[in-house]
């Protein structure tokens, strides 16, 4: 009996020693992490990013963000939000003036990634990632990183989300129900016209049947037209991806213009489309019945509802999911070449992509004030809380996000499945280096700014204005851009 008691006592002591050792190891690890943070001198980072509107209570969220970043990387972050409509101009001004910033959102459709990298605006990030954000590499598939590279180097971190596009209509459900819209009849963008006629006759003048703005919708319809853009005016037909063409000289573009002109003259398109800078000014009022979009992502109807004044919407896709270099680099974070704290900036981007607490704070705000939790991973947004950016894809890895109440719980799995199964572009990974034709690109931009808003919105007659536009594009040097792109595609193919 005594021997058994001694054995039991010895076992208990051993168990206690094991627990003590484990606890000590955890404490040592915690202390080491704390010491590492203490070894970092305090810094302030400045982060520029765009939103539909500047949130009223951004200051509260900044304070909450800084509690996290101060503890994790001994840094505070100044959140500089701009509107999407102003972002390109604001960032160009910031860079030109030498104003201090560390991190900035960049894309291929707003404050252009390739163009600004060619100007030397961004730091090369490969070494910074390896040294300060090793978890970041594992958080996204290889093809996402490949799409982000420019001449084999990374200059911006993709915000991993849906990396496909699917074109189609965003339609307010109340109107679809009221006019008994049969979505099965909509196979092409023109097929929506009978519904627009019903909206015009039944809801005017308060409701816009088809919302358009100065950028037009043709650039959102490339896939359904059998096209892929490489710059804003030069791309390829998918059936002949080796031969770049002027997208604005195609039959598809002429057909689009004819339809838009017809819709505009019938009153289906908002009269101010050619001068409308920020379409969200109309969308948020709930007065846009139909919109055309090229990213009808799984679960996106919940975000679209919030953007449309709280009105339910339905998605009506006219294409399948498609992935290209352009669909990956639609939302990214870069580090300024003039940042005084590039290592800490990279640590911050790493947190945005791997730290759920930080990511959900910047995406949804402060719990109890800006949102409340319905369950562990589902939140209900407080519309009157002063912070509802409705744009978690701007901030980081969306797979770390809470689900918004009403969103399908399987949306993350659906998105990953679409990412993996989407049709891949024949030019996946190709990026056009516009350095040899920068003067022509600048000239083309001037011509486009002058003529495209009127044409693409149907405001002016293409029969009298399209030829003038196309002639000016030729004078601006579009053929030289096409020739340069053809050379680069051929050289790129040799490396495959």
The DSSP code sequence of 267-319 is T-B-TTGGG-S-THHHHTTT-EEEEEESB--TTHHHHHHHHTTT--EEEEESS
pLDDT surpasses 80 at 16: no
Total domains, the chain: 2
Do 67 and 147 lie in one domain? The reply is yes
289 and 208 Cβ atoms separated by less than 8 Å: yes
**Statement to judge: residues 155 and 48 lie in one domain:** yes
Average pLDDT over residues 403-430: 90
CA distance 131 to 433: 28
Distance (Å, whole) CA 76 – CA 351: 13
The alpha helices in 98-225, defined as continuous H runs, are 113-118, 126-132, 134-138, 142-148, 173-178, 193-203
| pLDDT (0 to 100) of residue 429 | 84
Q: Looking at the structure, do residues 22 and 65 belong to the same domain, yes or no? A: no
CATH number at residue 150: 3.40.190.10
23, pLDDT greater than 50: no
Q: Is residue 290 within 8 Å of residue 298, measured between CB atoms? A: no
Check whether residue 27 and residue 102 sit in a common domain. no
Cα separation, 487 vs 371, in Å, equals 52
* Residues 357 and 419 occupy one common structural domain: yes
Same domain, 61 and 140: yes
User: Same structural domain for residues 396 and 350?
Assistant: yes
pLDDT of residue 5: 43
Which of 110, 69, 136 lies closest to 362 in space, CA to CA?
69
Q: Which of 424, 450, 478 is the last residue of a domain?
A: 424
Average pLDDT value for residue range 26-54: 73
Instruction: Give a yes or no: residue 459 inside a domain.
Output: no
Q: Does residue 341 lie within any of the structural domains?
A: yes
- pLDDT at residue 6 tops 50: no
The alpha carbons of the chain give a radius of gyration, in whole angstroms, of 26
Rounded CA gap, 176 and 100, in Å?
49
Residue 165, pLDDT score: 93
Residues 1 and 54 in one domain: no
Residue 233 lies inside a defined structural domain of this protein: no
136 found inside a domain: yes
Residue 9 domain boundaries = 1-33
In a shared domain, residues 50 and 142: yes
408 in any annotated domain: yes
Interval 293-325: pLDDT, tens: 999 999 999 889 999 999 999 999 999 999 999
Residues 5 and 64 in one domain: no
133 within domain boundaries: yes
Contact, 186 vs 318, CB < 8 A? yes
Place of tokens 């999407």: 84
Residue at 340 is within a domain: yes
For residues 121 and 53, membership in a common domain is answered with yes
Domain boundary among 424, 452, 485: 424
The tokens describing 417, both together, are 């499945």
Domain boundary, last residue among 424, 439, 461: 424
Q: Per the domain annotation, does 113 fall within a domain?
A: yes
The pLDDT of residue 29 is above 50: no
pLDDT in tens, 171-198: 999 999 999 999 999 999 999 999 999 9
pLDDT at 33 exceeding the cut of 50? no
Chain position carrying tokens 């010895």: 10
pLDDT tens sequence across 200-241: 999 989 999 999 999 999 999 999 999 999 988 999 999 999
**89 and 149 assigned to the same domain:** yes
């Amino acid at each position: 009996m005594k021997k058994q008691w001694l054995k039991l006592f010895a076992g208990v002591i051993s168990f206690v020693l094991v627990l003590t050792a484990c606890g000590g190891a955890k404490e040592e690890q915690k202390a080491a992490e704390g010491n590492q943070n203490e070894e970092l001198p305090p810094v302030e980072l400045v982060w520029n990013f765009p939103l539909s509107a500047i949130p009223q209570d951004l200051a509260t969220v900044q304070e909450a963000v800084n509690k996290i970043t101060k503890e994790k990387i001994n840094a505070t972050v100044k959140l500089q939000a701009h509107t999407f409509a102003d972002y390109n101009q604001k960032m160009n001004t910031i860079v030109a003036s030498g104003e201090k910033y560390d991190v900035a959102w960049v894309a291929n459709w707003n404050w252009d990634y390739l163009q600004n990298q060619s100007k030397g605006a961004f730091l090369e990030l490969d070494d910074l990632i390896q040294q300060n954000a090793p978890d970041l590499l594992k958080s996204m598939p290889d093809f996402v990183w490949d799409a982000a590279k420019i001449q084999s180097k990374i200059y911006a971190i993709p915000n991993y989300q849906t990396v496909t596009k699917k074109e189609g209509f965003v339609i307010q459900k109340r109107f679809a129900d009221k006019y008994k819209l049969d979505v099965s009849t909509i196979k092409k963008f023109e097929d929506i016209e009978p519904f627009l006629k019903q909206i015009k006759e039944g809801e005017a003048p308060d409701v816009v049947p088809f919302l358009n703005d100065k950028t037009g919708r043709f650039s959102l319809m490339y896939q359904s037209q059998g096209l892929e853009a490489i710059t804003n005016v030069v791309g390829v037909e998918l059936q002949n991806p080796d031969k770049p063409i002027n997208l604005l000289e195609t039959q598809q573009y002429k057909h689009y213009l004819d339809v838009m002109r017809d819709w505009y003259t019938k009153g289906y398109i908002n009269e101010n489309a050619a001068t409308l800078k920020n379409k969200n000014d109309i969308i948020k009022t709930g007065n846009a019945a139909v919109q055309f979009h090229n990213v009808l992502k799984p679960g996106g109807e919940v975000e679209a509802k919030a953007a449309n004044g709280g009105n339910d919407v339905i998605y009506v896709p006219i294409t399948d999911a498609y992935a290209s270099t352009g669909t990956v680099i639609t939302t990214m974070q870069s580090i300024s070449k003039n940042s005084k704290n590039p290592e800490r900036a990279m640590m911050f981007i790493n947190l945005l992509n791997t730290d759920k607490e930080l990511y959900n704070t910047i995406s949804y705000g402060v719990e109890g004030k800006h949102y409340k939790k319905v369950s562990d991973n589902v939140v209900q947004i407080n519309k009157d809380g002063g912070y509802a950016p409705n744009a978690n894809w701007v901030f980081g890895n969306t797979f770390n996000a809470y689900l918004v109440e009403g969103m399908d719980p399987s949306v993350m799995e659906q998105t990953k499945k679409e990412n993996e199964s989407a049709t891949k572009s024949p030019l996946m990974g190709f990026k056009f280096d516009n350095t040899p034709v920068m003067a022509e690109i600048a000239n083309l931009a001037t011509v486009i700014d002058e003529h495209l808003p009127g044409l693409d919105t149907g405001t002016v007659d293409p029969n009298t204005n399209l030829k003038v536009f196309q002639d000016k594009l030729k004078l601006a040097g579009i053929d030289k851009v096409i020739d340069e792109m053809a050379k680069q595609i051929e050289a790129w193919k040799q490396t495959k």
